[in-house]
Amino acid sequence: MIDFYILLKLINFLSDGSIFFPKMLGINSNKIYIYINIIKSWGINIHKLSNNTYKINYPLDLLDKRKILSNILKGKIYIFSVLDSTNQFLIKKINKLKSGDVCITEHQIKGRGKNGKKWISTFGGNICFSMYWFLKNGFNSLYGLSIIIAFVIAKVLYNIGLSEIFIKWPNDLYFKNKKIAGILIESIGKINNSVQVIIGIGININMPYTNKLNIKKIINLKDTGIIFDRNLLLINLINTLKKSLKKFESNKLLLSFPKYNLINNFIKKSHFFKKKNKDNFFLYKNIY
């Protein structure tokens, strides 16, 4: 029987790149293989060295629960090491949620993207979280919602040094023609003229490239040369998203015809974010 506590403790030992000895956790040589195989199945590249010792290829910047809980704006925060899906977790609790409640995990086993496509993630290699929101303006605001979320992610990444981010309508963000982040919005149920939504966000942080196809199609934030703290980036994303969604609802942003048409034109032209071009900051300037 697998002891989940020992499994996570093993990952903590390995996370800073140190060499791990099974005796450190009192695990016998037969059982260690079971734990190692589970860790590998979660996408962590771990190698056996001499004298039955183990080491991972790169350090892991694991979630700091205390830091997250003490810095995120008010609301429920669920934090897990491993979960089937953050979106699905919130869907199951939807009757007990309030706008801004969040579910965060180190690793999703059954994460999904648009049209049911599998969202590939690895333990500690991504930012994976979902947020619940009660949209008072109903289904008409769903179109504008995806734009707001994409711009929030782009703005936060821009502020840590990512200078050019391309939004592939409606749910992907690219850097240098490679996918760096994805969005999944699920509308769950209508209450009078309002609608409940679950917003899932995934960002590639330090995900190992498993084959040539991945290298051609995705990019990690670590590979851009930008120095950042995964926990602080997560906190900033969640807090900025909460503030922006409140402003989105109170100002009814994008619902007036002139703005709606301008944004529609913006999407068709597929602009990059460039500080010198003020037109590319139409939404950016309105939601902050």
pLDDT confidence band for 116 (50 / 70 / 90): low
Q: What is the pLDDT of residues 73-102, one digit of tens each?
A: 889 999 999 999 999 999 999 999 999 999
As given in the structure block, the two tokens for residue 39 are 């860790």
- Rounded CA-CA distance 86/109 in Å is 10
pLDDT confidence band for 49 (50 / 70 / 90): confident
As given in the structure block, the two tokens for residue 71 are 């810095």
CA dihedral over 262, 264, 268, 274, signed as positive or negative: positive
- Structure-model confidence comparison of residues 272 and 94, the more confident one: 94
Average pLDDT value for residue range 204-219: 74
Phi-psi domain of 61 (left: phi exceeds 0; alpha: psi -120 through 50; beta: other): beta
- Rounded CA-CA distance 178/175 in Å is 5
Closest CA to 248 of 172, 173, 197: 197
Q: Do domains 4-56 and 65-287 have the same CATH topology?
A: no
User: Hey, which CATH number is domain 4-56, 1.25.40, 3.40.120, 1.10.10, 1.20.1530?
Assistant: 1.10.10
Phi, psi angle pair for 228, to nearest 5°? -155, 165
CATH class belonging to 65-287: alpha beta
Rounded to the nearest integer, the mean pLDDT of the chain is 80
pLDDT confidence band for 111 (50 / 70 / 90): low
Average pLDDT value for residue range 240-249: 89
Global confidence as pTM: 0.83
Provide the residue type at 280 as one letter. Answer: N
User: Where do the DSSP E strands lie in 2-160?
Assistant: 46-48, 54-56, 77-83, 102-108, 126-135
Q: Domain map of the chain by residue range?
A: 4-56, 65-287
- Structure-model confidence comparison of residues 80 and 118, the more confident one: 80
